[in-house]
Amino acid sequence: MKKHLKLHIIWIALIVLVALLIDFLIAQGIITQVYERTLVTIFINIILAVGLNLVIGIAGQFSLGHAGFMAIGAYAGAILMMQVDGILGLLLGMLVGAILAGGVAVIIGIPTLRLTGDYLAIATLGASEIIRIIILTSDNITNGAIGISGIPDTATWSIVYVFVIITTVLVLNYIRSSAGRATLAIRENEIAAEAMGVHSLKYKVTAFVIGAMTASVAGTLYASYLGVVAPKDFTFQKSIDVLIIVVFGGIGSVTGSIIAAISLGILNTLLQPVGEWRTIIYAIALILVMIFRPSGLLGRRELMISPFLNRQKGASQK
């Protein structure tokens, strides 16, 4: 128990420290407006990647439809924030978006999650494209291809940061819960898990719904921070971008996703001068990582503080 408390304190201290550091850097003018935008993009990517990792890495279900759920959150947020001002509008948009995305995920998930592997990937991709096309064609609500602009920019970097922490903690806790362990069992061997009495569809759908809701939250934050949304932001390409982060970090490693989101975000900024070659370098890196390290940078391992604590404790006992 004491060890747990110590761990929590270290984590909270770390979180606060990062926030203070960013605040300090912004106040000093080291993080300019442009860099702040990169920072928020990284944060939003962390939320997206952690959510997708729950579906792909933990539940072992290869979904390519993350952008669709992000679009739901972005549009729900955009529409509600235009009606309700301030933080209330943001939270309301987030809530409505998450409920909507969750509902859609149940509708899509129950039939499609019976499929496996590539088929599931294609089915979710199709579903996400259908969501996008519906948004594109309902111009009276969503303004069609032009999208919605002038959304009040309620979300600051600190609000986004708070949500990064909330979603990460939620996902991590879910993974460690009994439901999470059942989900892991399905990943390892679905037939064996079923034989042991694990209701595999239930857990797969749950993971899918949680993933969809986090994507929706990321979408709302995205809409609020940028102030504009358009259907072209949520194509198949966006799902791939998130997938790349998850794969780079390690399929199944939450800390891996976070590290990958940060390093790819920085790499992206550094590669800005080479312009269009950036995406090519990205693609080559993706292929090379798959060939030489198919499990990603961290594989399934997590970076944790507790081993360090234990080691120290072991050393002092000697």
Partner 1 sequence: MEQLVNAISLGSIYALVALGYTMVYGIIRLINFAHGDILMLGAYIGFALISILKLDFFSALILSMLACAIIGAVIERIAYKPLRKSAKIAALITAIGVSYFIENIMIVQVGAETKVFPDVLGKQSFQLFGVDITLKQVLIFLITISLMVVLTLVIQRTKMGKAMRAVSTDEEAAQLMGINVDNVITFTFLLGSALAGAAGVLVGVYYGAMTPLMGVTPGLKAFIAAVLGGIGSVPGAMLGGYLIGLLETIVNALGFSLYKDAFVYAILVVILIVRPAGLLGKNVKEKV
Q: Which residues bind partner 1 (CB under 8 A)?
A: 56, 62, 111-112, 114-115, 117-119, 121-123, 125-127, 129-130, 133-134, 136-137, 191, 236, 240, 243, 247, 251, 276-277, 279-280, 282-284, 286-287, 290-291, 294
**Residue whose CB is less far from partner 1, 44 or 243:** 243
Q: How far apart are CA 141 and CA 199, in angstroms?
A: 39
Minimum CB separation from partner 1 for residue 168, in Å? 23
**Residue whose CB is less far from partner 1, 144 or 227:** 144
DSSP 233: G
Q: In this structure, are residues 171 and 214 in contact, taking their beta carbons and an 8 Å threshold?
A: yes
Minimum CB separation from partner 1 for residue 164, in Å? 25
**Residue whose CB is less far from partner 1, 85 or 118:** 118
User: What length does the chain have?
Assistant: 318
**Residue whose CB is less far from partner 1, 164 or 244:** 244
For 259-281, give one letter per residue: b (16+ CB within 10 A) or e. bbbbebbebbbebeeeeeebeee
Q: In this structure, are residues 52 and 253 in contact, taking their beta carbons and an 8 Å threshold?
A: no
Minimum CB separation from partner 1 for residue 242, in Å? 12
Minimum CB separation from partner 1 for residue 97, in Å? 21
Pure H helices in the chain:
2-27, 33-53, 66-83, 86-112, 117-137, 139-142, 157-176, 178-188, 190-195, 200-226, 236-249, 254-270, 277-292, 306-317
Q: In this structure, are residues 73 and 215 in contact, taking their beta carbons and an 8 Å threshold?
A: yes
**Residue whose CB is less far from partner 1, 172 or 286:** 286
Minimum CB separation from partner 1 for residue 5, in Å? 39
**Residue whose CB is less far from partner 1, 68 or 102:** 68
Q: How far apart are CA 269 and CA 264, in angstroms?
A: 9
Minimum CB separation from partner 1 for residue 236, in Å? 7
Minimum CB separation from partner 1 for residue 161, in Å? 29
**Residue whose CB is less far from partner 1, 11 or 277:** 277
Q: How far apart are CA 225 and CA 317, in angstroms?
A: 51
Minimum CB separation from partner 1 for residue 34, in Å? 23
Burial class (CB in 10 A: 0-12, 13-18, 19+), 92: middle
Q: How far apart are CA 133 and CA 204, in angstroms?
A: 26
Minimum CB separation from partner 1 for residue 240, in Å? 6
Q: How far apart are CA 265 and CA 197, in angstroms?
A: 42
Burial class (CB in 10 A: 0-12, 13-18, 19+), 212: buried
**Residue whose CB is less far from partner 1, 120 or 259:** 120
* Pair of tokens at residue 222: 């995205």
Q: How far apart are CA 274 and CA 258, in angstroms?
A: 25
Strands, E, within the chain: which ranges? 148-149, 228-229
**Residue whose CB is less far from partner 1, 177 or 279:** 279
